[in-house]
Amino acid sequence: MNIKEYLKVYFIMGSNNCKGDPRVVLKEAIAGGITMFQFREKGEGALQGKEKYQLAYDLQQICKQHEVPFIVNDDVDLAIKLGADGIHIGQEDEKAYIVKEKAPHQLIGVSVHSIEELQQAIKDKADYVGMGPVFPTTTKTDTKAVQGTNLIQQARQQKIDFPIVGIGGITAENAEKVIQGGADGISIITAISLAMSPKQAAEQLLQAVK
Ligand SMILES: Cc1ncsc1CCOP(=O)(O)O
Ligand SMILES: C=C1C=NC(C(F)(F)F)=NC1=N
Ligand SMILES: [Mg+2]
């Protein structure tokens, strides 16, 4: 699979995004067909230290069993320690070119909010970028303004064919709009992590982006 296929239904979760056991939620999401997973342990109630490492290790094992790429958000050292398949960083995290030097064989994803930040990520040899929030979300409390797919469309109008995944408030109902806006895939937290059936939610999201 290439990166654009991995980005199709990109599930992101931390222990505080789900009511039950994140291991069970991840197994269900994988059964429903998610194409990549990001461990994002952040915000109130987020685990730290040994507990965080242990959960990351367990979720990585589940991904390995099903050959789903395992990405770590923010925590570059944890990603390297685990030998994760990739690392996702925001503008306020370590610079992408430094992360690339530290972890040359791992995928690098960058959150971008402008064409300039997108161009910089490309220069820094990132593998994909996340753009959003495309729709309103309460999952991340300090998001930038809701942008729809404007920035994604802007990039495509400028003939930038780089791998882009949309994020923020995405559900099976609005997922198609994100792809029509030019994204290669969708990334989701609560539409899967809080679903009655994460498996069914993942299946429906996969259908919506086909
Ligand atoms: C991490 C992040 N970055 C922009 S919005 C967001 C949260 C997305 O969560 P949800 O899919 O539940 O809206
Ligand atoms: C803040 C984020 C923005 N985008 C993404 C991704 F979807 F992976 F690109 N992940 C994040 N944690
Ligand atoms: Mg970050």
Q: In this predicted model, what pLDDT tens digit does every residue of 4-15 receive, in sequence order?
A: 999 999 999 999
Q: Is-catalytic flag, 140?
A: yes
**How far apart, in whole angstroms, are the C-alpha atoms of residue 43 and residue 52?**
13
**How far apart, in whole angstroms, are the C-alpha atoms of residue 80 and residue 139?**
26
Closest CA to 113 of 94, 84, 88, 90: 90
Query: What's residue 102's pLDDT?
Result: 97
pLDDT tens string 154-163: 999 999 999 9
Give, using CA atoms, the residue closest to atom 2 of ligand 2: 111
Ligand 2 atom at shortest distance from the alpha carbon of 73: 12
Selected catalytic residue, list 40, 187, 193, 199: 40
Give, using CA atoms, the residue closest to atom 9 of ligand 2: 130
Pairing state between β 9-13 and 36-39 = parallel
Our CA dihedral for 202, 188, 103, 77, rounded to 10 degrees, sits at: -110
pLDDT tens string 33-57: 999 999 999 999 999 999 999 999 9
**Class for domain 3-209, per CATH?**
alpha beta
What does pTM read for this prediction?
0.98
Closest CA to 69 of 111, 147, 156, 128: 128
* Segment (H or E) for 128: strand 128-131
* Segment (H or E) for 82: helix 76-82
**Ligand 1 pocket residues where CB is under 6 Å:** 132-133, 137, 139-140, 143, 167-170, 188-191
Phi-psi region of 67 (alpha: psi -120 to 50; beta: other; left: phi over 0): left
In this prediction, residue 1 has a pLDDT band, given cuts at 50, 70 and 90, of confident
pLDDT tens string 83-138: 999 999 999 999 999 999 999 999 999 999 999 999 999 999 999 999 999 999 99
Give, using CA atoms, the residue closest to atom 5 of ligand 2: 130
For residue 54, count other CB atoms closer than 10 A to its CB: 11
**How far apart, in whole angstroms, are the C-alpha atoms of residue 33 and residue 36?**
9
**How far apart, in whole angstroms, are the C-alpha atoms of residue 210 and residue 146?**
25
Domain boundaries, the chain: 3-209
Q: Say if ligand 2 is within 6 A of residue 113 CB.
A: no
